[in-house]
Amino acid sequence: RKEVEQDPGPFNVPEGATVAFNCTYSNSASQSFFWYRQDCRKEPKLLMSVYSSGNEDGRFTAQLNRASQYISLLIRDSKLSDSATYLCVVSPMDSSYKLIFGSGTRLLVRP
Amino acid sequence: DAGVIQSPRHEVTEMGQEVTLRCKPISGHDYLFWYRQTMMRGLELLIYFNNNVPIDDSGMPEDRFSAKMPNASFSTLKIQPSEPRDSAVYFCASSRLRTGGLAQYFGPGTRLLVL
C-alpha cells in the first residue's frame, strides 16, 4: 500500500464549479500535512498547509480527518488557471523531516 | 527574495558520461532535499541534508549517485556513470523548520536525458 494515495483523475470541470479532492495516508504518526500544486513541466509549489481544525485560503479549503487518515482540498469557483496537478503531502515528523508526496490528482478546468 | 536556484535547467548526455547537477538553496534554509520525478514513479526523495550534513540517503538508487553539500549555499548531485534509466527531472528543495511543519520550496528542476 502506498503511504499517500490519491485519485489520479483527471477531474474535468467547468469554470465556476466546486471540486473536491481526497487523499488518504497510511502512517497514523504523520504530523504535518500540505497541498502542493504542480503545473505542467514546472516544479511543485506549496499551495497551503493543512491544520487539524481545517483552514481556508480564499477559494481553497483544506480539511484533515485524523481518525480516518484522510485530507481533503476543496476548490470553489474554479478558474481556468486552477488547472494543474494537486499533490497531497504528509510528513511523518518522527526523527526525520521527510515529506511523502502522493502521485497527484490532475484537474482540468474548461471554459 | 531569490528562490531555489538549479543548474543546468536541461542536460542531454550520453550513457556512461558523468553528470553534475547544482543547487543553491534559499538563504537561511538549513534543510536541503534532492528529488527525482518520473511519470512512472512520481516524486522520489533521493537524499536530504541538515546544516550541510547528509541525514538520510536511503533513496539514492545506487552507488552511481552521490551528493555533497560543501557549504550552506551550494549542493551537487552527481551521477557517474549515467544510464538511460536515469532520465528524469531532478528537483532540489530547501526548507527551514517553523511552526506548522517543514514546508519545502522547490527549484525549477533539471531535465536530464541520457541517451
pLDDT for A3 equals 87
A58 touches chain B (CB under 8 A): no
pLDDT for A85 equals 97
pLDDT tens across A52-99, in order? 888 999 999 999 999 999 999 999 999 999 999 999 999 876 656 778
> Which triple of cell numbers denotes residue A42?
514546472
A43 touches chain B (CB under 8 A): yes
> pLDDT band at B96, cuts 50/70/90?
confident
- Whether the per-residue pLDDT at B103 is higher than 90: the answer is no
Report percent pLDDT > 90 for chain B: 80
pLDDT for B85 equals 95
Looking at the DSSP assignment, which residues form a beta bridge with residue A107? A11, A84
Q: Which of B48, B97, B105 sits opposite A98 (nearest CB)?
A: B48
CB-CB neighbors (< 8 A) of A104 in chain B: 42
With residues binned 3-state (H G I as helix, E B as strand, rest as coil), the percentages for chain B, rounded to 5, are 5, 55, 40
Q: How many Å apart are CA B33 and CA B48, to the nearest integer?
A: 4
Closest Cα of chain A to B71: distance in Å? 20
- Whether the per-residue pLDDT at B77 is higher than 90: the answer is yes
> Which triple of cell numbers denotes residue B21?
547537477
Q: How does B48-66 read in b/e, with b if 16+ C-beta sit within 10 Å? A: bbbeeebbbeebbeeeebe
Cβ <8 Å between B101 and A34: yes
Q: Which of B55, B103, B108 sits opposite A43 (nearest CB)?
A: B108
Which of A6, A23, A99 best tests the B interface by mutation, with the highest count of B CBs <10 A? A99
Cβ <8 Å between A43 and B95: no
**Which whole number is the average pLDDT over B6-34?**
96
Q: Which of A32, A45, A99 sits opposite B100 (nearest CB)?
A: A32
Q: Which of A43, A49, A99 sits opposite B100 (nearest CB)?
A: A49
- Whether the per-residue pLDDT at B70 is higher than 70: the answer is yes
pLDDT for B1 equals 63
Q: Which amino acid is at B77?
A: L
pLDDT tens across A20-40, in order? 999 999 988 887 899 999 999
